[in-house]
């Protein structure tokens, strides 16, 4: 199977170590969240030169953040997202030759094992938390100057929230958006263009522009929960609550969407090989 998110023409260590796995996913997810939360802070905070840049700026910023994060995490295939990692596990059930980073075992491939999957996911959450903290530090003076800004806008820098709160429909929206992401990733490696991470960046932009309006399109448990934890522990002036009542949706809905995408893609025989 083609790598899920791996750039073309890279040399992977013959036997990636546990540290290789952790460092790669940690750094890639840190870059993703630092830049993604940064574009939201640019849009939302007072005394930011980009304040009010709008939804399109945010979706393009998040798409490019994914692009940079995938390249940073080249050793592991640039998952940056537990839903992607879980999708690889499900794909491995269908095809035992599937590895976590797309390469062949013995030639840089990372086997699908409990230990390796755990390393991926732990690194993703750790990178997401630190990335959000760094975004806060980068905008510390803007946060200090935004005491009168709606606390929801401050939380929106870190994590997602629905415009219309209906947990069942919010869950469905996140399932659909994640389904689109994972299905695209599974089939895109078989297309002639093979533009690698750029294609993933573009699908993130279009998901945000087309399906992101209802919930803010988390489509990634680490992307939402990690920064939400950072929001809860950081000394942000006038920050309000971290909305833990909603927090389960952007964690579990992307996992459901990812599993459904693998099942459907394999049922249709459309997976890239």
Please tell me the predicted confidence (pLDDT) of residue 144: 93
pTM: 0.93
**C-alpha atoms less than 13 angstroms from C-alpha of 104 in its C-beta half-sphere:** 3
In-domain check, residue 125: yes
In-domain check, residue 24: yes
Domain CATH number, residue 200: 1.20.1080.10
What are the two backbone dihedrals, phi and then psi, of residue 82, each rounded to the nearest 5 degrees?
Answer: -55, -30
Give the chain's domain count: 1
Phi-psi label, residue 80: left if phi above 0, alpha if psi -120 to 50, beta otherwise:
left
Please tell me the predicted confidence (pLDDT) of residue 13: 62
Please tell me the predicted confidence (pLDDT) of residue 11: 58
User: Encoding tokens for residue 52?
Assistant: 């009010």
Residue 165: closest CA among 204, 216, 211? 216
In-domain check, residue 91: yes
Q: Give mean pLDDT in consecutive 10-residue pieces for the chain, a chain of 273 residues.
A: 41 80 98 98 95 97 97 94 98 96 87 97 98 98 90 97 98 98 88 74 97 98 98 96 98 98 97 79
In-domain check, residue 10: no
Buried b (16+ CB within 10 A) or exposed e, 191-207: eeeeebbebbbbbbbeb
In-domain check, residue 141: yes
- Domain range for 147 is 18-268
In-domain check, residue 3: no
In-domain check, residue 194: yes
Q: Cα 123 from chain centroid?
A: 12
State the residue for tokens 């690194």. Answer: 123
149: DSSP letter? S
Please tell me the predicted confidence (pLDDT) of residue 189: 72
In-domain check, residue 1: no
């Amino acid at each position: 199977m083609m790598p899920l998110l791996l750039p073309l023409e890279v040399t992977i260590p013959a036997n990636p170590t546990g540290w290789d796995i952790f460092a790669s996913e940690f750094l890639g997810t840190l870059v993703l969240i630092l830049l993604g939360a940064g574009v939201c802070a640019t849009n939302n905070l007072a005394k930011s030169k980009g304040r009010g840049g709008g939804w399109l700026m945010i979706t393009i910023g998040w798409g490019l953040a994914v692009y940079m994060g995938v390249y940073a995490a080249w050793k592991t295939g640039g998952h940056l997202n537990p839903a992607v990692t879980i999708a690889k596990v499900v794909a491995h059930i269908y095809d035992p030759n599937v590895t976590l980073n797309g390469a062949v075992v013995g030639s840089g491939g990372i086997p699908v094992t409990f230990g390796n999957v755990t390393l991926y996911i732990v690194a993703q959450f750790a990178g997401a938390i630190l990335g959000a903290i760094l975004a806060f530090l980068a905008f510390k003076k803007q946060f200090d100057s935004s005491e009168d800004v709606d606390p929801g806008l401050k939380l929106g820098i870190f994590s997602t929230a629905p415009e219309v709160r209906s947990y069942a429909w919010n869950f469905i929206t996140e399932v659909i958006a994640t389904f689109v992401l994972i299905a695209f990733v599974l089939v895109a490696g078989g297309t002639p263009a093979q533009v690698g991470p750029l294609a993933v960046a573009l699908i993130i932009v279009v998901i945000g522009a087309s399906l992101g309006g209802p919930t803010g399109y988390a489509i990634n448990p680490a992307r939402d929960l990690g920064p939400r934890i950072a929001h809860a522990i950081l000394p942000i002036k006038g920050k309000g609550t971290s909305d833990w009542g909603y927090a389960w949706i952007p964690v579990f809905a992307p996992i459901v969407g990812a599993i459904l995408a693998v099942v459907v893609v394999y049922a249709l025989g459309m997976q890239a090989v």
